[in-house]
Amino acid sequence: MSKNSTTILLLKIFRKFLKAYGPRKWWPAKTRFEMMAGALLTQNVSWSNAKKAIDNLKKAGLLSPEAILAAPHELIADKIRSSRFYNQKTKNLKALSGFIMNECEGSLDKMFDGPIEDLRKRFLKIKGVGRESADCILLYAGKKLSFVSDAYTRRFLLRYGILEGQPEYEQIRAFFMAHLPQDLYLYNEYHALIDYHGARVCQAKPECQHCPVRNLDKTTRCQYTA
DNA sequence: ACCCAGGGCGTTG
DNA sequence: CAACGCCATGGG
């Protein structure tokens, strides 16, 4: 598949998703730090559970790196109990806050200043920040062109035969970044739509009756099996 | 009583 | 590097 036809295919699917589901309004956060905290808190837990944790932190005045660092572990852990792995995530929030205060002079502008791949490598050293979280932070808090991949994204690509074999996270990210126009809105909305589709439609309706791209064209079809 | 969510880390072989 | 176990809530 040539680069050009892949780009056309990806954009065609994007338009169909957008028309069917509407803008997903990601990421739902008022500040960059709130977004980053949310990225850690939603790991392997429903967004509703993560949101409760964020709301509790906000009410307690703990939604800043300074406050997170100053507060005792037990207090944070209590506020974010609904996020499931609350002891781990308390450490992760403190690690992120320490990174901001100690390595970025407490400045989020400083934190996102530099070449994107350099920033990504630095973020990945923070405990609790893996590839998906790093890319979410880069894209949704930093307005950087880093495409977010995840399990939904991989299943999506495989089911439509866009990629084959066992593509790994970095390959999938690179694939989108190589074939999509370098556009923040597109990166932002596409990831959100893929996740929405994967969680709410593709999984709930395995017969594909309601899939907006179930018969995209003659050669591209959903190969849903599981 | 199950199932699984908007993962990541540390430890094995 | 793959395959685990661990972390340990809440809604369906």
Q: Could you report the per-residue pLDDT of A43-101, keeping only the tens digit for each?
A: 999 999 999 999 999 999 999 999 999 999 999 999 999 999 999 999 999 999 999 99
Determine if strand C comes within 7 Å of the CB of A45.
yes
Q: What is the pLDDT of residue A201?
A: 78
Q: What is the pLDDT of residue A226?
A: 47
Comparing C-alpha atoms, which of A217, A88, A106 is closest to residue A160?
A: A217
Chain C bases under 7 Å from protein CB?
2, 7-11
Interface residues 79-98 of A with strand B (CB < 7 Å): 84-85, 88
Q: What is the pLDDT of residue A161?
A: 86
Q: Could you report the per-residue pLDDT of A171-180, keeping only the tens digit for each?
A: 999 999 999 9
Percent of chain A with pLDDT over 70: 92
Region A201-216: what's the mean pLDDT? 72
Interface residues 166-195 of A with strand B (CB < 7 Å): 195
Q: What is the pLDDT of residue A216?
A: 75
Q: What is the pLDDT of residue A159?
A: 86
Determine if strand C comes within 7 Å of the CB of A86.
yes
Percent of chain A with pLDDT over 90: 81
Q: Could you report the per-residue pLDDT of A140-193, keeping only the tens digit for each?
A: 999 999 999 999 999 999 888 899 888 999 999 999 999 999 999 999 999 999
Which residue's C-alpha is at the least distance from the C1' of C9? A84
DSSP letter string, A91-158? HHHHHHHHIIIIISTT-HHHHT-S-HHHHHHHHHTSTT--HHHHHHIIIIIT--------HHHHHHHH
Between A212 and A23, the higher pLDDT residue:
A23
Torsion of CA A224, A203, A43, A164, to 10 degrees: 10
